[in-house]
Structure 1
Amino acid sequence: MLSLTHSVKMALGSIGSSKMRSALTTLGIVIGVAAVIANVSLGASFNEFFTEEIGSVGNNFIIVEGKKSNLFHDSELELIKNTPGITGVSPLSQEVAETRFISTTRQIQVQGVSQDYEQVANIEMESGSFLDDNDKYMAVLGHDVAYEKFDKKISEKNTIELTFTRADGEVVTQKFKVKGIIQDPDTTFVQSGIESDVRIFIPVSTMNEIMGEDYYWGFFAAASSLESIDDVTDELDKRLARDLGVSSRDIDNEDAKPYALMNQAEILEEVDQLSAALGSLLTSVALISLIVGSIGIMNIMLVTVTERTNEIGIMKSLGYKNHEVLSLFIVESMVVGLIGGVLGTGLGVLGAYLADSAMGLPYIFPLDLIFVGMFVSIIVGLLAGVYPANKAAKMNPVDALRHE
């Protein structure tokens, strides 16, 4: 009876006797397994990256944005504050202002906010402090505004000059003292309206006074937890709909409402779907390499069977059964696949690490991928070896011995 240990030894001997051919045989498996592992790992890294990026712009945030001006006032602000599950809310107003520091002028987005914005938008200060509701002509600068936009860096206690143009065409210029600089969030995936590094923040009351307005273009709120954020958003939606005269039959019709709601959980769900689709696409492409690799193993094993016809004849004349010859060649094919899997897994791990490092992604590598890589390579070797092994097992020993 041919033991598994003996079969593996014979397989390794056969593989070692033709190193170049064996190397070329395993190459397809190496590339295929490496591609699958690297792509799955990259998919996990991208998902973690987007989750961290979204989390950096707010804690369980809910964005309320008006589709027309003069829609939201203090009454809507109080309504949101009193909604169960809301832990903080900042009204928002924004304008592009001509910003002057010393002799340099730039067009920069200025955001009017309240002191709650620091908490709900997850703001971290590099220097100074964030705005207080009692502040008036004070400004907090995003990291890029302070250090990149002007010829000279702006620091805390410096003075900048903001020039706004009202809706009636009147131009208003006002000096603001810099109260603090926001820490660089180090994010590249941001949602419109909430990125902090390229903006100037001033008190929303001061913004409305300068612009001659008494309304807000939206709100930035926070729910008590990510688990409850959908329920809180639904309740907020119902309250705003009633307050703004939206009928109950139109509450689920986004086009019928004069405002739009978006929360962190919805964005994360969209990101998960995008990551899953991207991962599936990349993995499907990588699986093509595995199919090519399995065909390569099958072809080489067929050549091996032909070259070893005399050997097969001798084995059968010595009493080897058909199933023993079959198992011998299947084991050899599986060993080839396993070797390719080991090398491919190592290459995939290295490739994923280098790709993550090059793109600035967090390195996420699920350990079960190692076992998946090994299992897939063995299965590929098994399937690729069945036909050549079956062909060898069915050889007539007399014909095999006569083969030249």
Structure 2
Amino acid sequence: MKFSLYYSRKIAFSKDNRNNLSRIIIFIGRLSVALGIIVSLITVCTGLGAKKAIKERIADFNGHITVKAQETDNSYNSPKLHLQNFQYEEIKNTPAIASVQSYAMISGIMRNEKSFDGVVYKGVGKDFDRKRFEKFIVAGSCPQYDEKGYNNQIVISHKIATDLGLNVKDSIVSIFSKEDQRPVYRKFEVAGIYKTDIKLLDDLFVIGDINQVRKILDMDKKDIGGVDIYLHNIDEIDKIYPQIKNLIGSKNYAEKATDIFPQINDWVNIFDTNIGLIIFIMLVVVVINIIMVLLILIIERTNSIGILKTLGATNFQIRSIFIHYTLLIMIPGLIVGNLIGLGLLLLQKYLGIISLNPDNYFISVVPVDLNGLYILAISSGILLIAAVSMILPSYLISKISPVKSIKYN
């Protein structure tokens, strides 16, 4: 064992530290480290958790990648997807892709005696990923759309249900229009109510049978308006996107979920700036406190430094002793900070104690992403940066004269 590490351990765990100024200094150092760890863990795990939750909600509703016809305009009415050169089976069999579902959309109005709402009716078929969608269901259930006949059951958002005063099994009349033709009326039964907390989705979308859209828009029974593609891992979206573009034909185009709602994506990206800023501030606070602890410990043990120099210890060895000493002081702070930080995060993850306004944050509960790599990186990063930052202040030891320091009280 190296001399510097051995000596630093001896003074770190010495009983003398309990009865002098060292006790207060050590407490301050450990407290600053623990607070830095707690704040950093909460910031990273909740910030990244919020980013992931918002992206996944948008993607799980609309598809990670959506394929549409080039003729698609600003309206919600779906033109027919060009199936020529559209390599559906190759897309479906791509290892990174979890599922593929077809859809067709049309805009309309839902009304009853109480009120009315503008809606977008998204028709889905037998390949509808019901399991993925069921996480949003808050009342009733999601129907099975087998494309046999015309299913009049729909799933509406909690927002639309509240506006129109609807409950499960209630009926509602919808009005759809086509160019240069009379409005088309349809009567639907509410089978389920969903809630994504994404205002841009909850304000508009109704899920129903794709055959209803085909009939209103005069489509053939095999025509579709688009395809939603779901990946096993949303983080691979940028990698898979170019492959999808090569399989959809020249008359169609693909769009990533992050591009469909750019305003939400831009807002989510602000999390990176906020996380970086908070961690930087906490690092500065921790480093300043640790340097202060180091300097006070050096001054307090000036007499010991003089004795060590008299016995032949080099400045480098003595600097190493105090750097190791200070790092050993930090370790209990790291452990306590991790225990408290992870404890608070686990409480939030499983109990959802802190809630948010979904109109402002797109989520109703603060999400937590407990990524072991980030947790390890925070602790090791703070420890490493603190160690490096102590190198320069430790040079104060070289200025201490052995003769004068031995007389120092």
TM over 0.5: yes
Gaps of 5+ in 2: 93-99, 233-238, 356-364
Question: Pick from 312, 315, 338: which aligns with 1:345?
Answer: 338
Q: Between the two proteins, what is the percent identity of the paired residues?
A: 15
Whose radius of gyration is greater, 1 or 2? 1
The residue number in structure 2 matching 1:62 is 66
Matched, 1:176 2:187: yes
- CA distance change for structure 1 residues 197 and 327 in 2, over 3 Å: closer, same or farther? same
What is the one-letter code of the residue matched to 2:187? F
The 1-side partners of 2:203 and 2:125 are apart by 14
The residue number in structure 2 matching 1:8 is 9
- CA distance change for structure 1 residues 109 and 128 in 2, over 3 Å: closer, same or farther? same
The 2-side partners of 1:59 and 1:387 are apart by 53
CA RMSD of superposed structures (Å): 4.5
- CA distance change for structure 1 residues 365 and 134 in 2, over 3 Å: closer, same or farther? closer
Matched, 1:391 2:400: no
| Equivalent runs, 1:2-401 vs 2, <5 Å | 2=3, 4-13=5-14, 15-16=17-18, 17-18=20-21, 19-57=23-61, 61-64=65-68, 66-67=72-73, 76=81, 78-79=83-84, 85=90, 90=102, 92-100=104-112, 103-111=113-121, 113=123, 115-116=125-126, 118-119=128-129, 123-124=133-134, 126-127=140-141, 129-131=143-145, 133-136=147-150, 138-144=152-158, 147-155=161-169, 158-164=170-176, 174=185, 176-178=187-189, 181-182=191-192, 184=194, 186-189=195-198, 198-199=205-206, 201=208, 203-208=212-217, 219-222=225-228, 230-238=242-250, 240=251, 261-263=254-256, 278-279=271-272, 281-317=274-310, 322-353=315-346, 357=352, 358=354, 360=365, 363-401=368-406
Q: Deviations over 1:56-96 (max 9, x none)?
A: 2256652416126799765x454477755366664524223
Deviation for aligned residue 1:300: 3.2
Q: Deviations over 1:117-138 (max 9, x none)?
A: 7349955584473445453582
Which secondary structure state, in structure 1, belongs to the residue aligned with residue 57 of structure 2? helix
Deviation for aligned residue 1:235: 3.4
- CA distance change for structure 1 residues 141 and 392 in 2, over 3 Å: closer, same or farther? closer
- CA distance change for structure 1 residues 54 and 383 in 2, over 3 Å: closer, same or farther? same
Preserved contact between residue 43 and residue 278 of structure 2 (Cα < 8 Å): no
The 1-side partners of 2:340 and 2:129 are apart by 44
Deviation for aligned residue 1:394: 4.4
Gaps of 5+ in 1: 242-259
The 2-side partners of 1:167 and 1:223 are apart by 30
- CA distance change for structure 1 residues 171 and 70 in 2, over 3 Å: closer, same or farther? closer
The 1-side partners of 2:367 and 2:308 are apart by 55
Count of matched residue positions in the alignment of Structure 1 and Structure 2: 370
- CA distance change for structure 1 residues 122 and 206 in 2, over 3 Å: closer, same or farther? farther
The farther-off stretch of 63-72 and 385-394 is: 63-72
Which secondary structure state, in structure 1, belongs to the residue aligned with residue 106 of structure 2? strand
- CA distance change for structure 1 residues 219 and 277 in 2, over 3 Å: closer, same or farther? same
Preserved contact between residue 26 and residue 293 of structure 1 (Cα < 8 Å): no
